Amino acid sequence: MAVRELVRLLEVPAAVRPALRKRLRAMAEEGALVRVRGRYSTPGSLSIYQGVFRGHAQGYGFVAPGRVEGEEKSPDIMIKKTRTRGAMDGDLVSARVEKVHPDGRREGSVLDVVERAHETLVGRLCVEGRSAWVEPQQERIPHLVVLGAGSREGARRGEWVEVEITRYPARNEPARGRILRSFGYPEDPAAEGRMVLAKHGIREDFPKKVLEEEKRLSPPGEDDPFPEGVEDLRDLCAFTIDPFDARDRDDAVSIEKIGNGCRLGVHIADVGHYVKEGGAIDKEARDRGTSVYLPDRAVPMLPPRLTGEVCSLREGAVRRTLSIFIDFDRYGNRTGMRLTFARIRSRASLTYRGAAAVLEGTEIPEKDEAECARALEAPLRELSALADKLHAERMRRGSLDFDLPEAQVLLDGEGMPTGVARAPRTSAHRLIEECMLAANRAVAEYLAEAGGASVFRVHEPPAEENLEGLRAILSKLGLKAPRLEALKRPGGFQEVFDAVRGSDVERYVNFAALRSMKLARYEAAPALHFGLGFERYTHFTSPIRRYADLCVHRRLGRLMRDKRKPQAKPLAALCRDISERDRVAEAASREMVDFMKALFMRDKVGERFRGHVSGVANFGVFVELEDIYVEGMVPLEFMTDDYYAFIPEEHAVLGRRTGRRFRLGDPVTVRVEGVDLASRRVTFQLMAGGTREVVGDAAESRRAANLAGTRRPRKEKSPAPRRRKRGNASPRRGRRR
């Protein structure tokens, strides 16, 4: 029904009609109604669903229906290329189910694009004669954007550009647009960085209103009077430990002996005092959600003077903090905690390398910090001893511990990659990690006991089908598979990791377990964090770079002052938004790292490297190199010694004739065949590796491979011309040549 029909049938007075329209729009956003071309319907009445369209490079896509509270999630609707109605990846659409297969798969068509996800796109400018168009960089958007005359704005052929969409694609009609700005040519790291940020909707510059508001902020002076409720902790021995190139310092630690135990102090920059809710800085920070870290730059959530000066816990400077003191007995058990607003003066700004050198008794690499680092040896060792106890207790309670390497891109002075190494993880890293985990956990329990909504970090247990898949893998390896109920608890996973530690299948099992887990997210109510084994957990220690932490600080401030409880519904929406921004920031960072890796490998074509299988798909085997942590792919069509079948439940490919198998974690030797910087892909040729030691005899292996299918997806053949039935021939209009 159209709104005017509802107005007539319900006899709605003119004064109330705007409220009716607003309510209908809200119900459509909630999924209780579906809007199709200006009309409204209940979702089930016409098999119409509203959801997000997820496109594919080949033009087709899927619609994931929005979940209605109290109902089970509906399966996705497959949309063929000819039935997308110009929908692009990320658009909110209304779709109708037109066919349901016996196995439950659904097909349908897009009826209406309710809300567009993209006003602009990023891609490469192509020019041929007088025609010009932009090929989007996003693989999931196969639509070209045609440019009109005079809409190139000086951009040159082959450059990365941002194009504004002036007309969206329709049936047999391409999208049209005009270029807003150009970033430069591919292969230039600076141009690639600007392009990646624009592609993910990440702004580098701050609006003028934000910078004007920032100018009015200043840190406290040495002789400024203390407001009520703010403690003087300037004489406390607190200090920071950060990377040597840290741009901001938002956390400091301290430790004091009390009786037979100790008191850990974690002091976090009081960002909430400066960033007032609803102000220009706050609105910008909420839109950004988090700071973004690329190999060659950082895009902060808050303006630079606020993060680098006003809030930064610089050595010798007086700064405001929200501090938590946690008391532990001699065994590392928590016996009490206290929160307070304070002013501290950091005694030193240590680096991870300097602090680790003190703890490990080696030479301090940074000569400038040698004196102050040695002066803090006693508190560093006390903190390290406490961290060891906290780690042991965390492991005992089921926290997961599998150390997979994290890559770090090394750059020269011009921003070009010179290497890809394993990110350092020293004793100082582990010390700070345990202190921050303890603070976050204590704050989460305090918030949960206080009641009311807040921002919690939630990590759900893996789905049962994923756990069954993991149990099947363990059984095939001849390992004892824990019961399903045991694997639903973090301790069950840790038993698996401990059983394979140091064995030749350790990497395989760790990767398989990691792939079975869900992504962590923010929620307004406390729940289990499966990976850490904590019943309640939150983010409290980084308000300079995460909006979630800033929200937690504000909630703590209200509890410490007037005990008011916030409304859960707006906070739940906020949690969804910042979870999404968190994923976007991670995707941008990962894409830029992948580009840097590909750029580093460009001059290594033809060289051989050792590595291990890091992923398996029906089109190829992914390999991560051991020494330089670069991942590439061996297409199955390159593996010509056999016909390889993909066996998803084993994360492996298996030769149909020889029984040769490549599975997750297997060691291999590869040769670099090619590098495509535009797609960030490195292609390998397999030289050695794999195993024939599969469970069962060779005949059984061949049968398994034959049942799994062919070695690669078959290309779709063009439909054969139909034969004309006799007696039904139509007159020919001339033969085409």
Q: pLDDT value at position 509?
A: 83
Domain membership flag for residue 449: no
Look at the chain and count its residues: 737
Clarify whether residues 68 and 89 are in a common domain. yes
Token digits of residue 358: 């003190």
Which of 399-408, 445-454, 672-681 shows the lowest mean pLDDT across its residues? 399-408
Tell whether 589 is covered by a domain: no
Percent of the chain having pLDDT more than 70? Answer: 91
Task: Note whether residue 156 is domain-resident.
Answer: yes
Claim to verify: residue 361 and residue 286 sit in the same structural domain: yes
Domain contains 664? yes
Do 435 and 375 belong together in one domain? yes
Q: Kindly report, residue by residue over 165-215, the tens digit of the pLDDT.
A: 999 998 788 999 999 999 998 888 999 999 999 999 999 999 999 999 999
Looking at residue 563, its pLDDT comes to: 64
Name the domain count of the chain.
Answer: 4
pLDDT digits (tens, 9 = 90+) for 104-137: 889 999 988 988 999 999 999 999 988 999 999 8
The predicted-structure confidence for 237-295, as pLDDT tens digits, reads as follows 999 999 887 777 899 999 999 988 999 999 999 999 999 999 999 999 999 999 999 99
pLDDT at 589: 94
> Looking at the domain assignment, is residue 447 inside a domain?
no
Task: pLDDT band for 710, please (50, 70, 90 cuts).
Answer: very low
Q: In the structure encoding, which two tokens stand for residue 675, read together?
A: 């590098």
Q: What is the structure's pLDDT at 402?
A: 65
Nearest residue to 624 via CA among 473, 406, 403: 406
Task: Based on the fold, state whether residues 245 and 375 are members of the same structural domain.
Answer: yes
> Are 232 and 172 within one domain?
no
| Whether 111 and 140 share a structural domain | no
- The whole domain housing 55 covers 28-115
The CA distance from 78 to 63, in Å, is 7
CB atoms < 10 A from the CB of 152, how many? Answer: 19
Q: 95: domain CATH number?
A: 2.40.50.140
Amino acid (one-letter) located at 543: P
Question: Do 348 and 371 form a contact (C-beta atoms < 8 A)?
Answer: no
245 lies in a domain? yes
Give SS3 for 682: strand
* One domain for residues 151 and 258: no
pLDDT of residue 309: 92
Judgement on whether residues 35 and 50 belong to the same structural domain of the protein: yes
Q: Domain check: are 165 and 265 in the same one?
A: no
* H or E stretch covering 522: strand 521-523
Residue 715 clears pLDDT 80, i.e. is over it: no
**CA–CA gap between residue 537 and residue 34 (Å, rounded):** 36
pLDDT in tens, 299-330: 999 999 999 899 999 999 999 999 999 999 99
Closest CA to 390 of 425, 351, 432: 432
Place of tokens 């630079």: 304
Regarding whether 38 and 90 lie in a shared domain, the answer is yes
State the first-to-last Cα distance of the chain, in angstroms, to the nearest integer.
53
Q: What was the pLDDT predicted at 28? A: 80
Task: With a cut of 70, say whether residue 660 has pLDDT above it.
Answer: yes
Look at residue 541 in the predicted model and tell me its pLDDT: 95
CB atoms inside a 10 Å sphere around CB 150: 7
Based on the domain organization, do 387 and 276 belong to the same domain? yes
Residues 116, 129: contact at Cβ < 8 Å?
A: no
Q: Has residue 377 got a pLDDT over 70? A: yes
> Does 316 fall in a domain?
yes
The answer to whether 591 and 583 have CB atoms below 8 angstroms apart is no
Q: Per-residue pLDDT tens for 67-118? A: 655 556 678 999 999 899 999 999 999 888 888 888 888 999 998 898 899 9
The average confidence (pLDDT) of the chain is 87
Query: What is the CATH number for 154?
Result: 2.40.50.640
Q: Do 241 and 131 reside in the same domain of the chain?
A: no
| Domain presence at residue 431 | yes
